[in-house]
Amino acid sequence: MIFDLDNWQEIGAAMRKNKLRTGLTAFGVFWGIFMLVIMLGSGNGLRNGVLQEFNGSATNSFFMWAQSTSKPYKGLQPNRQYNFTVEDAEALKGISDLKIVAPMNQLGGYQSENNVIRGLKTAAFGVYGIHPEVVHIQQFKLTSGRFINGMDIKDRRKVAVVGELVVEKLFAPGEDPIGGYIKVNGVNFMVTGTIKGSGHGHDAREQAGAIYVPFTAFGQAFNMGNKVGWFSVMAADGVSALEAEKKAMAVIKERHKIAPDDMRAIGHWNMEEQFSKMSGLFSGIELLVWFVGIGTLMAGIIGVSNIMLIVVKERTREIGVRRAIGATPAAIVSQLIMESVTLTAVAGYTGLVIGIGLLELTNKYMPVDSDSMFMHPGVDLSVALKALAVLIFSGLLAGLIPARRALEISPVEALRTE
């Protein structure tokens, strides 16, 4: 039946006989799969744009910083100020659920900038005291020289790794910054490495305009003592960052005599939690898109089924003649189903190709901005093919009801039909 040329010619003639009706029915199917592809691609574009903020950071990590207490505890008053210390770092390293504990400091506090001098040039940048282990939590793209290492920490070397914006503003064009000196608050640091902003958005801009020095040299040069601004922490392999965070906070609260139920005393940001929330949100959006898209497809398929019922009514006499001269029920059913499947397959494939083509054009000509909340829209080929397979199967089902109606027609009654 499939390879019967006469049968295909008959199907083509039946569709051409009512071009407007065929076109409108096909458009319903075309529009359903086209919109499904566009919505899925747009959802992926939104997902890529939002989740790019997590690129370059370990999703099983978290950050903690000291805030004021909110509850009295062990004779101490609320609203008490305290600081994290180097000793806290050693205590946290004793927790088996923590893989990396990296104490961090920023000169002047969060989001502060400081005047940095080189020769006659001066500019304001963020200055950070870090441990080399932080590279396992936050990505750094080294462009020249070397990063801070363990010997720098041990010997309290006054060295610095600087961002590309620092090089641009403090060094002459084409000048090699490696080995050059910069002065921060009267203290000279030798540049040993340069980095470019990694990640996207705020993180990339922050790194491009940052100066990183060994944590120990930072404390000595700027009289920080044993104070720690915040901890960057990575959970051990196979351990939930949420559970690891709870244990770390419990240790800090015990050491600083903070009420266990004081939720304000320790500020924290958990990458795993935030990533899970975002992933769950976009999974819900994707489910909604499939629900709406499938609903649109079903509307088109119902249109195909209704049109095929009309076709059966119009061709009642023809069906009766075919039954009278010996056509089997299977032959009648297969032709009607093939008409339905052909219409849905051609219209669906066209919608699929145009939808994917539009997404590819958007990818090609849409400017990529690191701050963009929408980037790289598209759908996996496997998803698109599955949608087409569902559509064709639906077309098969759409032809079954009209085919069954055709089999119920008696040859004698069909021949009497005017």
Distance, in Å, from the CA atom of 376 to the CA atom of 364, rounded to the nearest integer, reads 9
The two tokens of residue 356 are: 């994917």
The two tokens of residue 407 are: 């089999």
CA atoms 243, 244, 246, 250: torsion sign: positive
- At residue 1, the pLDDT reads 46
Contact yes or no for 177/206 (Cβ under 8 A): no
The whole-angstrom distance between residue 244's C-alpha and the CA centroid of its chain comes to 25
CB-based contacts of 216, cutoff 8 Å, min separation 6? 129, 153, 154, 156
State which residues of the chain have pLDDT below 70: 1-18, 21, 49-58, 198-203, 307-334, 367-375, 400-418
- At residue 214, the pLDDT reads 96
Query: Which amino acid, residue 104?
Result: M
Contact yes or no for 195/140 (Cβ under 8 A): yes
The string of DSSP letters for 274-325 reads: HHHHHHHHHHHHHHHHHHHHHHHHHHHHHHHHHHHHHHHHHTHHHHHHHHHT
Contact yes or no for 398/302 (Cβ under 8 A): yes
What's the pTM? 0.68
SS3 194: strand
- At residue 261, the pLDDT reads 92
Closest CA to 381 of 405, 356, 403: 356
Question: pLDDT, tens digit, for every residue of 3-48?
Answer: 555 556 655 666 666 677 677 777 877 888 888 888 888 877 777 7
From the DSSP assignment, how many helices (H) and strands (E) are in the chain? 13, 13
Distance, in Å, from the CA atom of 235 to the CA atom of 402, rounded to the nearest integer, reads 61
- At residue 415, the pLDDT reads 52
- At residue 385, the pLDDT reads 76
Phi, psi at 97, each rounded to 5°: -80, -5
Contact yes or no for 114/252 (Cβ under 8 A): no
Question: pLDDT, tens digit, for every residue of 328-362?
Answer: 666 666 677 777 777 778 888 888 888 888 888 88
